[in-house]
Homo-oligomer: A and B are copies of this chain.
Amino acid sequence: MPDNRPIGVFDSGIGGLTVVRELMSLMPNEAIVYFGDTARVPYGPKSPATVSRYSQEAASFLMSRDVKMVVIACNTATAHAAERLAELLPVPVVGVIEPGARAAVKATTSARVGVIGTSGTIGSGAYDLAVRRRLPDARVYAQPCPLFVPIVEEGWFSHGAARLVAQDYLEPLLEMDVDVLILGCTHYPLLRELIAEIMGPDVALVDSAAETAREVSDVLEKYDLRRTDPKPPSHTFAASDAPLRFRDIGRSFVGDVLSVVELVDVEAIGHRPEVFSAP
């Protein structure tokens, strides 16, 4: 039966809007509730336990807004909390790692796969596992790139310093002769041009955002959860800190659809077990 409730999406901050952009483009009739945890961004360098707790709080907020599914639009949160949330939540949960791994496996011919991400994502080994579950002979070369997020947040997409940093990080992957590189962080598509230039034309870049949107569409289809309301959907954006800054930067991702940003005290919401039980 169709389901007119919104899709819930969360991220440590603003990067998850790259996933929202793909969702809106692929499924323009779906309503979205987005939460960015800007009060505690970034998740990348933080411990699995802390990231898992923050993710449960974000999911609690989304569930309180009656969403029909939860999309974890953050690689670090997916690495540390996707399984737990899938167990806990009474709605489908989609992360960004499985879709990215699937696309990488489709694209590789040499089975030599590169992955870049935050220290948390790379340290978790989640991409390695997800790729080798599908392609047991694959060699996965993983490289943490902790400076990429701050560089993107500074807007230095083609600054000389960004190039030097990228060369330093990507050099080992070039030496390993990968033919696919997974951009394992929602911020990285904004550095795509620079990364493509350094990796060269023979390396396919996999952007998890687009793959994740396809996965979300498949899940809605499979469980017959599409929104069928003929009225145009309305979207909700919320952040745990600095909503005006979120709006101003966020517009470069999704445009004018981002007009009002709610401020949410996510620590006060906490992890509410009651919202995790089925309605």
Q: How far is A50 from B47 in the complex, measured between Cα atoms in Å?
A: 21
From B46, B147, B165, B168, give the contact of A39 (CB < 8 A): B46
The listed residue with most B CB atoms (<10 A of its CB), out of A46, A156, A168, is: A46
Contacts A147-B150, A151-B147; A241 near B47 (Cβ below 8 A): yes
A134 at the interface (CB under 8 A from B): no
From B50, B150, B159, B241, give the contact of A50 (CB < 8 A): B241
With a CB–CB cut-off of 8 A, which chain B residues contact A165? 161
Oligomeric state, in copies: 2
Is A242 in contact with B161, judged by CB distance below 8 angstroms? no
Can you name the residue of chain B whose Cβ is closest to the Cβ of A270?
B267
A154 at the interface (CB under 8 A from B): yes
Is B242 in contact with A46, judged by CB distance below 8 angstroms? yes
A40 at the interface (CB under 8 A from B): yes
With a CB–CB cut-off of 8 A, which chain B residues contact A39? 40, 46, 50
Is A159 in contact with B154, judged by CB distance below 8 angstroms? no
Q: How far is A149 from B149 in the complex, measured between Cα atoms in Å?
A: 12
Q: How far is A46 from B241 in the complex, measured between Cα atoms in Å?
A: 7
| CB-contacts of A155-191 with B (<8 A) | 156, 159-162, 164-165, 168
A224 at the interface (CB under 8 A from B): no
User: Shortest Cβ distance from A152 into chain B, in angstroms?
Assistant: 11
Contact code string A1-45 (vs B, CB < 8 Å = 1, else 0): 000000000000000000000000000000000000011100001
A193 at the interface (CB under 8 A from B): no
| CB-contacts of A136-150 with B (<8 A) | 146-147, 149-150
| CB-contacts of A49-77 with B (<8 A) | 50
A positions within 8 Å CB-CB of B? 38-40, 45-47, 50, 146-147, 149-151, 153-154, 156, 159-162, 164-165, 168, 240-242, 267
Q: What are 5 residue pairs bridging A and B, where the CB atoms are less than 8 Å apart in the complex?
A: A39-B40, A50-B240, A146-B153, A149-B150, A160-B164
Identify the 6 closest CB pairs spanning chains A and B, nearest first.
Answer: A161-B164, A150-B150, A47-B242, A161-B165, A50-B241, A161-B161
